[in-house]
Structure 1
Amino acid sequence: MKVEPETEEPTGPREFRKSKDSLITPAASPVSIHIKEGCPRMDAMQRMEQLVEQLNQYSYHYYTLDQPLVSDKEYDVLYDELVALEAAAGVQLPDSPTLRVGGELLQGFKPHRHLAPLWSLDKAQNEEQLINWNNRVQRLITDYNSKNSDNPLPEPTYVVELKFDGLTLNLTYTDGKLVQASTRGNGAVGEGILAQVKTIKSVPLTIPYSDGTIEVQGEGIMNLSVLAKYNEIAAEPLKNARNAAAGALRNLNPRTTAERKLSAFFYNVGYSDGVQFGNHQEMMAFLKENRFKVNPYVTYHDSFDKVMEVLHSIVEQRASLDYLIDGAVIKITDMRIREALGYTDKFPRWAVAFKFEAEETTTILESVSWNVGRTGKITPLAKVESVELAGVTVQNCTLNNVGDIERKNLKFALGTRVFIRRSNDVIPEILGKVTEEQDGGEILYPENCPACGFPLEQRGAHLFCNNRLDCKPQIVSRITHFASRDAMDIETFSEKTAEQLHDELNVREPAELYTLSFEDLIKLDRFGEKKANNLLQAIQQSKGRDLASFLFALGIPNTGKSTTKVLADHFCDLSAIMSATVEELTSLPDIGGIVAESIVSFFADPFMQAGIQKMLSLGVEAKAPEAAAAPVTDSFFSGKTVVLTGTLHQLGRDEATERLEALGAKVTGSVSKKTDLVIAGEKAGSKLTKAKELGIPVIEDEDEFIGLLDGK
């Protein structure tokens, strides 16, 4: 699927609250209005006054101070209630947020009046509202053609773009030079932020087009991967990518902007005194020709049914993107139709924004418990007041470590309101406290292991239990990992099996699996003869696993499957790996100093050495990899650096890698300028996006990929 953003057309009511483009319109479902008997109009007016005051306060904190007090979802509920009350009463208060789009100007920035208005977008919250929008478009075109039969409008076609969650930018170029940059502001006047925008490397300072003045709109964003790196070392971590981008661009010190390493996508030419476009495709081509960064996910459709299909694809793909989106934008592509349809007081009639289910909200932090992992790391788990988020009921949220708690100002947050975010099926994460005050109960860090009572040690931001020999959660997790599919692949084995073996047979390390007998297993609860024999057979078969699988099964800190395969392929011998030095290890591809130190320390541990020797003495082979045939040097893939991403249905990732390497390719895990080719399967995410941004060739058809592997 190819979806793409241009997203940003400023949006409705909340749009002004999100300088990114929130779309505002009536709620997806009608809001019930309950008015007391006696003086219903007065009661409705009082509620409207309350909502206007409340929403204006939220908007001030959101736009002007960049310190949101509530989530988008909560704001939209109140906003839609106000829209419904105003419709029922037939009046709008003078300071109602439904009358304006934008936020107040910050002191210290010079106001900039846009040459052409930056419109908001009407909002659709469900498919029915999208269909209603399209029906209105069709009716308006039919009505126009009935009055202009000599020059009728063509049938409408559509473009679908992503709706970014960042800060709207309006750039002014005169004779090919960037002369001004501003925020969206209220749609007519924004804040001049030229110095800040110049720090964004994806913003061209000069462009080839030099015939007069143009205004170009786009979205300033902070990539999620950049945000994660920033927060690793930041004294004050940023709560989310949207606030990070907005705060940087609206900071009076451009150095702060530069430190955030922002990016930007561009999607619209709002004003030009020299160039005109016949359709949206021409405008996008113009932007690309003039070196503007255009998001690769943009699709064009002749049928509105196809538009609906693409929207479903975007929802599925959302979590894999390296930047935040909160919806999609649908526009009519033909410029003559756009001109004929025109605008309402706030929105273009030829565009609509489809809002996704909210992924962020606020709730009350109720308690924090502590869990013990395979390596002895103690991880906090937060219980929150139940709240609906992205279609599910959330009760538990992740907190990475004690350092995370400190950085997010959560040490005194029990019983207070916190921001949470959920992406796809991942457990929600707490982003931080809604307010900065330390006004809640204290989260107490454990001094002893919650499982075994052993004194804890803090290393960096993490707490650890060093009682490896007698801490049940560590033992059960180590054995479960050892037996897992990508490791020793012991069939029928599960975490429950590991726990039962620990509790009833005192199994404390993976090596002891190879000492189990039929007599041991048959006396266990729920173990009959067949189950006991099947498990013993699976354990016996696992002795023949290769060296890479054995190394992965050991659970060496900071190493994964790719690293253990590199070790196995290079050394081809377990003893050589166990005695390797840091210098030898760092000479290998994709192994840095931290990983090398982890490997050396792991094999220097007498406990690990004893366990390995015991397994070898009990028949575990840890087979060296068979010598591979010399790679082909004249295939399509010979000498190419290839990246695999997404799901391949006909070939597994491992088989695809083996076949590519046999044909002379080098398969790596990350996309860079050195990458020659990307193979993108289903639900390919940020790697595919980066490849398209860098102009790297991409194969998205699995049949085509297999044909090339077969030499066709």
Structure 2
Amino acid sequence: MSNHAIDPKLEARMQELVQELFTYNYQYYTLDNPIISDKEYDALYDELVALEQETGFILPNSPTQRVGGELLSGFTPHRHLSRLWSLDKAQDTEDLLQWHQRVVKLVQDYNTKNPDQTPLPDPSFAVELKFDGLTLNLTYTDGVLVQAATRGNGVTGEAILPQVKTIRSVPLTIPYKEGTIEVQGEGMMNLSILEAYNQTAADPLKNARNAAAGALRNLNPQVTASRKLNAFFYNVGYASDIRFENHQEMIQFLKDNHFKVSPHVTYFNTIEEVMAELNRIQEQRNTFDFLIDGAVVKLIDMRTREVLGYTDKFPRWAVAFKFEAEETTTVLESVSWEVGRTGKITPVARVEAVELAGVTVQNCTLNNIGDIERKNLKHALGSRVFIRRSNDVIPEILGKVTDEQDGEEIIYPTHCPSCGSELEMRGAHLFCNNRLGCKPQIVARLAHFASRDAMDIETFSVMTAEQLYDELEVRDPADLFALTFDQLVGLNRFGEKKANNLLKAMEEAKSRELASFLFALGIPNTGKTTTRALADHYKSLEAVMTAAPEELIQLQDVGGIVAESISGYFADPLNRSSIERMLELGVSPQGPAEPAAVNTDSIFYGKTVVLTGSLQLLTRDEATSKLEACGAKVTGSVSKKTDLVVAGEKAGSKLAKAEQLGIQVITDENEFVRLLNESLNA
């Protein structure tokens, strides 16, 4: 934007053109109801472009800025104001009914245990399409789009504001201007747009899902703009000063603020009505101009959502219903064998490329030799087979189209395809036992050890593991903690900065919590839930290592096979030696922290507290955690039961209501933080 003054009449005309074009864009891209011809729209757009060039002045919400700007150097992390949760999945109606039963029981239990509270209503449900694109999280402050990010891990995503601004169904400004809100939706490429794009593209796009994800994560926003993406919005994840009573209010808020919402949002009072609606959506699935991979069922009442809350991963008040996978036939061309981190040899089928549920499928899983035999695929090379994308994600071969044994034979390997060691058959699986000398196993173990859910060693990737294996003979996770700067800086593509960053990340990883360390070890038949249970129960690494199978089996989620796997892992001299080396090199897994004693003398103890407005020194989640650690109950609305309101910048109706009810208010954030620290450190 130019700093020199412009003719007020020209500026006024530009403002008028921006508003007109916004209206026409909204009618066309959001409401799908154009009220002006393309020729008339282009004339107004060209007039605005000419005025911007003449004056050197561009309004921040000008539609000319949607074409994409200069090439970016990279993506920056963005921390969401409120966590973006995953959804629990219902694979069939039985799973859905079980979810419904849990919800009903939770509501009944709450009402029984809280007779003095307003009872929660009987569950009623909203059903929405589950779009299959890329999740978007948009941040608006005072009515202006200031940030857009991918979902990432739910806490931190990647900032993609320049890319998202190219989506014409995304409003750059909204009427709601009271503080900050986060709005979640799904970016996608309409199937008709994909088809039109591929008719003229030099490099056709394979499917709509990857086209949208690739466009939004392209460093060149002009490429994003060329894909003509669309977006639907379905949730207000964070609002500094607004509260909805039910799902309908939130959807209406989105509509009132010019967000494009799905026309397929329906409401029901019974789970039987919900199931009928799911069947209807599935029948209509192929008529939509966009991909969906299911539907989402949510409780309508917002207070019930707050009461039911969340598990570690999912909201208890919502579930994603996965549709039956689509099937087709193709030709099985070949089978290759891959080595995993446990030494398991897995067959991977190569099939003649075929479109399935909007995706080009070329590789399918066969699981193991038992799977091949069970599906009558031993003599199937060159034959036509049925394939299915299970849950619309993982392609699998279901079996041959005919029962004739007229295909080429799938030859089972007798030796490891990587290291040449003789393979061992265990049940239905082949295994390579050369765990100390088989490269794919070692590389996969190193990558798993360093992964985000394990030791979370930043900058470490499969490529890093392969390079360390090849050039520094790293064979065991313990070897990582013995690496030096001089070793790393001499590697190809390793400068001083990268070497220092990796060493710093490994130093930080030494004090990861015990549950993460146990998961990083890759103990057979265990996952994150089991290793968390082990850490929470035994508190220390030594206690876990010495636990007997009959003791382990008493834990939740630990059966006989898992107990034997855990005990056997720590009885193995090679595993114990690796762990002992890590401990000698400074690795110190941290047991779960004991809950701190609550200071009953704190001014927050036993109080019901409401946070409103924007806090500068703490995030909303941090403030909530600290208040709860002081023994306070944090709620989202002001009522006669509220004891204290903490009001940050731009506090609105909640502050006014608190003053009206005579509730104590803290408006000095520095004083609020001082009181928190005083209470926590007492």
Asked if Structure 1 and Structure 2 have the same fold, meaning a TM-score greater than 0.5 normalized by the shorter chain, the answer is no
What TM-score range do you get, normalising by the shorter chain?
0.3 to 0.5
TM (norm. structure 2) is 0.44
Q: TM-score, normalised by structure 1?
A: 0.42
